Amino acid sequence: MPLVTTLSSLAKAYRRYSTSTLRDVVIAVGSNQGKTFSNFTAALGLLKKHSCQVVRYSRLYETAPAYVLDQPPFLNAAVVVRTSLSPESLLTTLKNVEASLGRQAGGQRWGPRPIDLDIVFYHAPQVLSLDLQEASQQQAAPSESTAQEADVDGLGSTCMGSEPAADEGGGQSIHPALRDQLWDAYRCWNEWKSTSLQGSAAGVQGQGKVDIRCVLPMGKLGCWAWQGRSHIMGILNITPDSFSDGGQITSVQQAVQQARRLAEDGADMLDVGGQSTRPGAAFLSAEDELERVLPVIRALASDEALTGVAISIDTFHARVASEAVAAGAHLVNDVSGGTMDPHMYSVVADLEVPYIMMHMRGSPATMQQPKNTAYRDACTEVGAELGHRIQNAVAAGIQPWRIITDPGIGFSKQAAENFRLIAGLRRFRYALPAPMQHMPMLVGPSRKRFLGDLLGSQDNAVRDRATAVAASLCIAGSANIIRAHNAAIVREALAVADATYQQS
């Protein structure tokens, strides 16, 4: 067969294959202009409209600019998309998305940009003939392997290897060929950081220095670095019937004073709750809950003494979450993990705030019924059940890098399961879907009854000391945030835990 005919046939076969076969592609996303996180959300939404389904997320990183230093830091991440687009068509699509979000062609090299989308890895078809593969690889260059430019986005995208690339993301596996490329990048990243970052301060545990850090988008507070040290969420109950401190705060002024004490004692965030979730607690309507919490949130958000302290709304009502964020809250803490209000996922997706998803079976009124406290293996079952809800949340538009997991100590668990969860937090973590295994985890053992029962006293001072011990054990088990009533005693415990486990 003449060479021209052969090449023509191969080209036709390639075009047919390129429009009918799905490939896994790693795309780096970067931004340092405008509302950077909103730019991320908009870019991924536009990719979906162009037949690029996101099936895997990296963590979210903030990185210092390279080369052009007089510009803001970059927000960086990497996603695995599944697409039938050829390398050329995909590259054109990315450029069109960039343009639609305000990036101008021919701008300053290494300079600021509202959005930057780069092909890092492209999984070339393995079933075609070698000649056709070589032809397609030549056509796809330079996007066929690791990005060659020493861009800050390329550096951020390398962090995709910080997750086990062989694991499934969003319930769909990554092709082995792409998995191997990611593992190669992971090994290169580890080699680079071990030789280039010796002696540097660890802004990210085991993953870089102060100019490369894992972050959560926290609205007006900017990017919150959640690794490097443990954090405290101070509990601010605006309730008459909470199990350990109900009725202690009866005015907005008292709430602000307690919030200031918590912040002075080391709380990084404040969790405002207007509804008791103790076992058997009565159900409060969204209207009644809003009446309790909105004046407090507005006061906290406008208090200069609390500048920089994140405000969380503790609710399972979507309407309360929405109005609380409008009033000044920075994140949503949902003890039901989205199971008690069918609108919660879509509302949180639109709010673009961090979302704490806790595991609970049933409701506060029914969670301690025998059917809800029966486990064969609490760590793996809790992780799997919460993981299923996380997948639903992601499908509704909540990116994994906005989710904080919580195993729900004391919620639909008996004492034995609570202790098993504290001892097996790493097993719980790795029972979650792959993207969430490396995202932040919150644990709330504070003043729980099972601690008092163990020590034979429900006195708050006794339970606070037990909480400090439990908090240290949780940090040893890879928790990042401890929810606590007594921030001072927990701060001391976490200082010891951090000094111990960050050296290991």
Indicate the pairing of strand 355-358 with strand 403-406: parallel
448 as an active site residue: the answer is yes
Report the pLDDT value the prediction gives residue 132, as an integer from 0 to 100.
Answer: 30
Instruction: Tell me if 78 is assigned to some domain.
Output: yes
Note whether 444 and 485 are within 8 A (CB). Answer: no
402 as an active site residue: the answer is no
What's the CATH number where 333 sits?
3.20.20.20
What's the CATH number where 131 sits?
3.30.70.560
**Options 113, 402, 448, 463, the catalytic residue:** 448
* Whether residues 131 and 239 fall in one domain: no
Q: Is the dihedral of CA 390, 396, 397, 402 positive or negative?
A: negative
| Strand partners of residue 310 | 269
Instruction: Tell me if 462 is assigned to some domain.
Output: no
What span, in angstroms and rounded, lies between the C-alpha atoms of 142 and 171?
Answer: 30
Nearest in space to 120 (alpha carbons), one of 144, 103, 86, 94: 144
Domain carrying residue 352: 229-444+479-485
* Whether residues 235 and 148 fall in one domain: no
* Whether residues 181 and 271 fall in one domain: no
* Whether residues 389 and 240 fall in one domain: yes
Q: What is the pLDDT of residues 82-113, one digit of tens each?
A: 999 988 899 999 999 999 999 988 777 788 99
Residue ranges for the chain with pLDDT beneath 50: 1, 3, 6, 14, 17, 125-172, 196-210, 242
What span, in angstroms and rounded, lies between the C-alpha atoms of 497 and 473?
Answer: 8
Instruction: Tell me if 318 is assigned to some domain.
Output: yes
Per-residue CA distances from 243 to 94, 147, 262, 332, 461 (Å): 53, 55, 19, 21, 14
Instruction: Tell me if 53 is assigned to some domain.
Output: yes
Angle between helices 460-476 and 415-423 (to 10 degrees): 40
Q: How many domains does the chain have?
A: 2
Per-residue CA distances from 245 to 349, 359, 439 (Å): 32, 23, 31
Which pTM does this prediction carry? Answer: 0.83
Q: What is the pLDDT of residues 261-309, one digit of tens each?
A: 999 999 999 999 998 887 766 788 999 999 999 999 999 999 999 999 9
**Options 402, 429, 483, 491, the catalytic residue:** 483
Nearest in space to 313 (alpha carbons), one of 264, 347, 361, 279: 347
For the chain, what's the residue count?
Answer: 504
* Whether residues 270 and 412 fall in one domain: yes
What span, in angstroms and rounded, lies between the C-alpha atoms of 495 and 196?
Answer: 28
Burial class (CB in 10 A: 0-12, 13-18, 19+), 20: exposed
Instruction: Tell me if 65 is assigned to some domain.
Output: yes
Instruction: Tell me if 124 is assigned to some domain.
Output: yes
* Whether residues 275 and 134 fall in one domain: no
* Whether residues 375 and 242 fall in one domain: yes
